[in-house]
Structure 1
Amino acid sequence: MAIDTKLICHKHKCSCCAKCLLGGHKNCKDFTDINDAVCRIKSSNMMLEIENSMREVTDNLQRIQTNRAGNLSSLKLHRQTIETEIQIARHTVNNHFDRLERTLLEELHIIENDERKKINKILASVELKEKEIAELQKSLAVTKQHASDLQTYLISKQIEHELMESESFIQSIQNNNDLSDVIISFQTNDMMKSLENISKFWKIVVQTSQSDIFLVRQKNKQTLTKVDIVTKEYPDHQYETIKTEEDSCFIVTVKPANDALKFGLNGQYRLCITTSGFILEDIQKKIPKCCWSFNIVRKFGKRGIEKEFEITVGRRNILGEGTVVLLCSSKDEPYQMSCIAENIMKRMKSKVKH
């Protein structure tokens, strides 16, 4: 028996028949003929919006996954850095520090494990949501190929609702500061004269900093609530970026080593590649920590180890020669850094010739 469905009620977002108009929809005013609504559903703006939203949600989930995985790597580096500092300090004191060292290392591992559990919990929920989006993509593809127009419309509205829930999930991650980077650092007590009276020289400090992750969202979500019969092209400003960074700037972590300590480098920095050379600046204060012009850089480029980029400076550097190894967020970044620096140097040489 066929369903006597004639109209779409935009207030209740459902189909209704002639009997419904006299019942629960008698006060509703915003209706669309169902034939107009479903006649071109598969090529409508709503279908395009849903597909775009799916790609958008998937991209955002992948960005979050990459961002959290990067924080896991940096946590390990911070731990290694602190362990190195602990060992250096350990050689300056007597046997009284054996017990304090064990206590501190245990505290460090406990804190790292606690923070890793928090991040892994976020990653698990993101991976689950990503699988759900993948299933929706498959369902939408099958619907477009085999379902009738009415079935396609009803299924697309259900998918639209689930997409909005996914977007709310992503927004909740941002609102709860779950994307804030966790930084563990090492602080030394200045009172080191009365060693026997001091029970603790250091402490492990957990800090968070604003993440450089950027998520994309549609500016206009209202188009998801109605079906536009005529398909329109989307303008370039249909999407906005919540946060962006210059292509020539990268978030890197300095690998602990003697040259890095000599240059006063420890932890995360923003590496900017400009016509002035390589600039390492404080992420929060945005103050340059080291500036190496191209004329004092002997060599630079990707190391044999994945995600590592090294810069070697000569004797003309104010702090002397040395090599600094930077751990990048992805395996592609060392290659990108090399290309940007080489292109800048080529342009500079070209200008000198002219």
Structure 2
Amino acid sequence: MEKIVDFYFVFHEVVCCQTCILESHRACEQIALINDACDGIKSSALVEDVSKALSSLLRTFDSVIENRKYNKESIYLQETTIKESIVKLKQCLLQHVDSLEKSLLSDLAKLQDETVSQLDAEISESKSLSENWQKTKLEYDFNIKHGSNSQFFRLVEN
């Protein structure tokens, strides 16, 4: 149940109802009726101070709102700038990867050519050695079948 606030305690600077007086403020002496306490309130310094404070507070909130709107717009502008930077970075990275790929493929081709060249030289040398040993084997086989012991002995000892 709501109580009607009819009294003002000057010493405590609070408003209260008749029940509060009986329960909490029996000993208080400076009690005034609300209608008497509020007489001339609208033209008092307190009202002027509160009005100025409220105006200042509203200006502060307006400033905060404008600042937040500006920050919000800045975020969208920054997002665009950051996205553009990311795209540029990606392009640079891709160009670098392409450059590395070309360099590696060139190095691979060069290494392959050098290795194949070396293997060709080794094959050629091995063929030459194989031909020499093949001649030696033919002479060896021929002397086993058709040569004398002394001929074969001289062949083996050389």
Q: Is TM-score (shorter-chain normalized) higher than 0.5?
A: no
**TM-score, normalized by length of structure 2?**
0.45
- Give the strand-richer structure, 1 or 2: 1
Question: Greater CA radius of gyration, 1 or 2?
Answer: 2
Point out the structure with the larger helix share.
2
Asked which structure has the greater RCO (Cα within 8 Å, sep 6+), the reply is 1
